[in-house]
Structure formats: structure tokens, C-alpha cells
Amino acid sequence: MNRRAFLKAIGSAALLPMLPRRLFADSASVASGFRRRRPSDANWPSEADWKRLNDSVGGNLIRVDSPLSVFTTDPNGDAAKALAVNLKNPYYVGEQLGLTESSGWLDAWASKPSVYAVAARNANDIAAGVNFARDNNLRLVVKGGGHSYQGNSNAPDSLLIWTRHMNDIAMHDAFVPSGCEHAMQPQPAVTFGTGVIGRYAYDAVTTKAGKYIQGGGCLTVGLSGLIQGGGFGSYSKRYGTAAGSLLEAEVVTADGQVRIANACTNPDLFWALKGGGGGTFGIVSKMTVRAHELPDYFGAANITIKASSDDAYRGLIRDFFAFYRDQLFNEHWGEQVHVRPDNVLEVQMCSAGLSSEQARQVWQPFLDAVKQSSQLSITGTTAIGSIPARHWWDPPYWKEHWPEIAFPRDGTMHAILDDVLLRVMHQPVLTFDPRPGASPDNVWWVGNTGECSIFWWGYQSLWLPQSLLEADSQQRLADALFAASRHASIELHFNKGLAGAPPDAIEAAKNTCTNPALLNAFALAIFADGQPPAYPGIAGHEPSVDDGHKAAARLDLCMNELRKVAPDGGAYVSESNYFEKNFQQSYWGENYPRLLEIKKKYDPNGLFFVHNGVGSEEWSRDGFTKL
């Protein structure tokens, strides 16, 4: 009997309760011109409605205020002074319902609190919020770590689902995704609530349990947003993308159902969650990811080289990439090299699986060649070294093993990365949360401090294909980077392109929906500029619009030069231009049509909207009006 005859025979209505509620809801209700409600609308939910929602989430509905209001009400008072300090502390910012890690982006967005937030404890709280937003035609937004550059975890006049307190982490020795019992072997894994940030995951998984999971390089990035974006950590050249390690997700879809998504159950949704962008297909309450084996060592190489002329700088860039191609283009080396406008090449790379001695041997020929050149000089301290991988994210271990390390009162720590010669890297590496009573686990890399509360003037990125590393292309690459560096400093993140990664990491990434350009890229070029804590509309804290426009124009010029050698590079969804042209192609390439189908299947009415997300082209820029 065919499906149609079967339905007729049993009476298709009998099947209705088995279909996910509202999964195939009437799309007529969101025809062109459909508008989501704002507090100023007469049909905004009543106090009684909000009270009912509050009751259904155990009293965890919170009216959101902006901590920034003190800048207006008492700009010179102690509270405003304390706030100014706290705005440079990513743990403080992450704990505030009404703040986000970036404060906004010129001509794009400014961080604005929601009207109400559900501080969710579990999938049921999330489902209550989703049902309420859907039934009342509200703009819904979800925030985990709050690190979206595009402003996708805040929206004025919205209901926020906040997962920050869903912080449980559980290790498994032998995890099998539900329904995959006959298809997959048990494997070590980690399940976590979607409020977990990298720092806490690394502490539980690496420091305490001796395993590795793919989180972000920045310790305060939320794992959920990172994984759904297809993100990268310092060691992604070895372990692949964060999405590639996802084994299972528990997700609340637009119909309010709590679903399991993995390779065997809802595999389409599972695939879309692996890089399709956060806040798009549902709200994830739990994730389980592969736990990888740790190598013996993690390490770093910090070297700064200054060229005395433009020609010498061009030559340095070319020679560096020849060296990179021969010695560093492999699973051991990730993180960054900065090509700066002042003719300085700054190496800030991380290594996996190499002892201090091995790492130094790799770099020695390059350093010797630099030393022999009369036109190049090494400035600052060169530090190349490794520590046991298990202690990479373990500040108490560093303290215990090197008691001579200074912990100045400003909260910074001088780290020793060289366990053989005990050569000190003369720069602070980690910053501690300075608030009285703050958890000693609250640490972040000094390099990320500048990004906390930053107001972006511009931010662009481009994957660079590995063909540029071929001997006959290295000069073109060097010329393009030199020309681009006349306009802005370019960061090349080698861990954010998978060319050179081991086959298992490549294979896992192939099974995600990220633009396949990722597989062929040796690095992601990122160039950005912005202004530390600045807030449009708050007197005394306004961003500098003129400076911002000039900076954004310089970034455009920089991109023009790089596009000459990588015209179809593509970009990584979470770290890219708010104004990315043809974002569908840039972020997802040939995967976009399938992603759009999955979006329409699970969220036919576009309840979940994020800027430049899958399906967002059907909505106004603020996500309130169907086009």
C-alpha cells in the first residue's frame, strides 16, 4: 500500500498527534508584511501572560535592565567608575543579561537588552520560552557566551533565552548517540549544558580528566555558539573544527519539541547544527562532543621580526611562507602570524605534540637566516617552548611549578613556556578576574582583553587557499599581503583553515555544513579595527563615527588586495564582516540550498532569526518584519 492510500485507510487525522506540534504550521500567518510585536504594540502580552510564563519557568523570568544606565543616571559616581573597570572583564560582561562581549558595530548594531529573559535551567524552560514567543509573535533571541560579533545574541524589544547557567559537564568513557547503537562504536565523549564556556570545559576535560575537546582559542567563548558556527580552537589544525566533533545535541525546535539530533536521529537537523550558525534551527540545551586524546605537549612560539625597508619586508613575508610551507604546514602548528603595516612580522603560534626541543629545532633554520640578514632584526623576547599538554589551561600548576613567576597586583601573570631552560616570556599571558570573591578559575588570555566591550569599526575575514603556498605562488602571496598591510594589520589564523590537517579532522569537517572552502584553506585572514568600550547614545561613551568610517574604508582596501589572490576565498560565519556580500555562498557554499530546506522544515515561520543566518534574507534586518 502506498503512503497516500495508507493514510486514507487509517484516517490521516489519527496520525496528527504523532507529528511534531506545529512543525508544519500554517506559513500563511507569516506572509509578507507580517510583523512581530513590540512593547509599544497594543497586543503585547499582558502582565498576567508574563506571570504565567514566569510560573512555568520556576520564577526564572527576569525583566532586563542595562547595567549601562548608571553612565546616564550618575556618570561620575563610584558605580559608574566600577562599571568602567568591569566592562574590560569578560567574566563580568558574560554574567550580565543586558550586555554582550562586543558593544556594537558601526552602522550595523548596538548592544541593547531584551525586555524579558528566561534564565533557563533546562530544555523545559527553553521550550516554555519558545512556545510563549511563538504564540505571542515575539522576537526571540538566544544568548550563551554572548560573543557574537554580528550582534546575534541581543535584540531590543525581544524575549531572550539565556543559557549561561546551564553549566553541567559530564565525561563518558563509552558514549553512543541515541539510536546509533548498531551504527557507531562507543567512544569517549563529553556532555555539557549550553551555557558552558571554553575555560570551564578545558578545566574539566583537560586539566581534571586528561582529555581534549575542541573549544575556542578565546577562553570565554560559549561552546554552543562556537560549535554551531563551525568554530576553531588553537589546536584545530590537529583536531579539526568544533562542529566536526559534535556527536549529539538536545535541541528545542520552533514547535516547542525537545528533540535529539545525531547521525541516526534527525540527521538533517544534526548536520545543520554543525556549522549552520547559532540561533537558527532551534535552541540547543545540551551537546555531546568527542573527547580526543591529549598529546604530550602544547606549546607556543613568539617571535617578532622587523624589516628595515619595504623590499626587505616583502622578502621576509615570502621567506616566511616558504618556511611555513616546508616546516609548519601540518597538524602541529596553529594560531597566528600578524603582517603589520610597520614592516613587522609577528609570530604568535601554538604547537601541539612537540617538546620544547623539537619546536626549537623546527624554527632554528628560519631564525638563523633572519639573524644573518642585515636588513632584518629580531625585536623583543623570542620564546619557543612547550609544557605538558594537560597543564596548558592550568594556572595553579604554573604557579606551583614556577613559584618565581610574578603575580603582580594588576592581576596578570608572567608565564614560563619553556620547561627546559626556564626562559621567561617577558609578557603577561593570562589575566585573572580581579573582582573580590571571583572564582580563581576565571582567567582569560591577555590577547583577548582588547576585544572585551569593543565597538567594532569593521571586521573582515577571508580563507586563503593552499595553492598560494606553492613555490611559484609564494611571491604573489607575499606581494598581496604586503600591499594589504599598507592599509591594516592582517592576522593569519592558521588553525582556522584545515588544509594541512590530518585525514580524520578533514573527514569530520566534510560532514559538517561549513563552506567546503575551509578544507582547502591554509589560513583565515582576519583584519579588524574598533574602539574600546563605546556605546552609541550614551553621552561620554559615544563611539567615534569619523574615525570608524576611515578605519572601515582601510579594511575595504585591505580586502581588495587579498581578494586579488583569493577571489572565492569564503569566510567563517562567526568571524566575518557584518556586511558580508553574498553571505550564503561565503559561509556555506554549495551547502546553502540544503540548509535552507532544513530551516524551512524545522522553523517554517522563521521564529529563529539571526543577521545573515540561513533564511534571514526573508526578514528585515532587525528580524521583526517578513519581507
Binding site for ligand FAD (CB under 6 A): 101-102, 142-149, 152-153, 163, 194, 216-218, 221-222, 224-226, 228-229, 231-232, 278-279, 283-284, 448, 451, 574-575, 610
φ, ψ dihedrals at 211, nearest 5°: -120, 180
Q: Are 528 and 490 in contact (CB under 8 A)?
A: no
The edge-to-edge listing of strands for the beta sheet with 344-352 is 109-110, 102-105, 454-465, 521-531, 490-493, 333-339, 344-352, 297-307, 376-388
Q: Are 426 and 381 in contact (CB under 8 A)?
A: yes
CB of 564 to ligand FAD, least distance (A): 26
CB of 149 to ligand FAD, least distance (A): 6
CB of 620 to ligand FAD, least distance (A): 17
* Eight-state DSSP code of residue 619: B
User: Strand pairing of 297-307 and 333-339?
Assistant: unpaired
CA distances from 64 to 135, 205, 455 (A): 21, 33, 21
- Complex with ligand FAD: residue 102 or 466, whichever CB lies closer: 102
CB of 497 to ligand FAD, least distance (A): 12
Place of cell 578545566: 203
Q: What is the 3-state secondary structure (H, E, C) of 459-471?
A: EEEEEEEHHHHCC
- Complex with ligand FAD: residue 146 or 244, whichever CB lies closer: 146
- Complex with ligand FAD: residue 115 or 316, whichever CB lies closer: 115
CB of 495 to ligand FAD, least distance (A): 8
- Complex with ligand FAD: residue 334 or 548, whichever CB lies closer: 334
- Complex with ligand FAD: residue 227 or 339, whichever CB lies closer: 227
Q: Element (H or E) spanning 454, and its range?
A: strand 454-465
CB of 23 to ligand FAD, least distance (A): 18
- Complex with ligand FAD: residue 244 or 315, whichever CB lies closer: 244
CB of 407 to ligand FAD, least distance (A): 24
- Complex with ligand FAD: residue 95 or 479, whichever CB lies closer: 95
Q: Are 608 and 601 in contact (CB under 8 A)?
A: no
**CA-wise closest residue to 333 among 466, 473, 494:** 494
CB of 180 to ligand FAD, least distance (A): 22
- Complex with ligand FAD: residue 222 or 244, whichever CB lies closer: 222
CA distances from 121 to 97, 129, 339, 375 (A): 15, 12, 45, 60
- Complex with ligand FAD: residue 129 or 315, whichever CB lies closer: 129
**CA-wise closest residue to 249 among 594, 512, 517, 516:** 512
CB of 222 to ligand FAD, least distance (A): 2
CB of 126 to ligand FAD, least distance (A): 8
Q: Are 193 and 166 in contact (CB under 8 A)?
A: yes
Dihedral sign computed on CA atoms, order 423, 424, 429, 435 = positive
Please provide the DSSP assignment of 331-345 as one string: TTEEEEEEE-TTSEE
CB of 358 to ligand FAD, least distance (A): 25
Chain centroid, CA 166 distance in Å? 18
- Complex with ligand FAD: residue 176 or 218, whichever CB lies closer: 218
Residues 6 or more apart in contact with residue 195 via CB below 8 angstroms: 144, 163, 164, 165, 166, 167, 222, 224
Q: Grid coordinates in use for 277?
A: 550558525
CA distances from 328 to 196, 237, 307, 336 (A): 32, 11, 22, 12
- Complex with ligand FAD: residue 133 or 226, whichever CB lies closer: 226
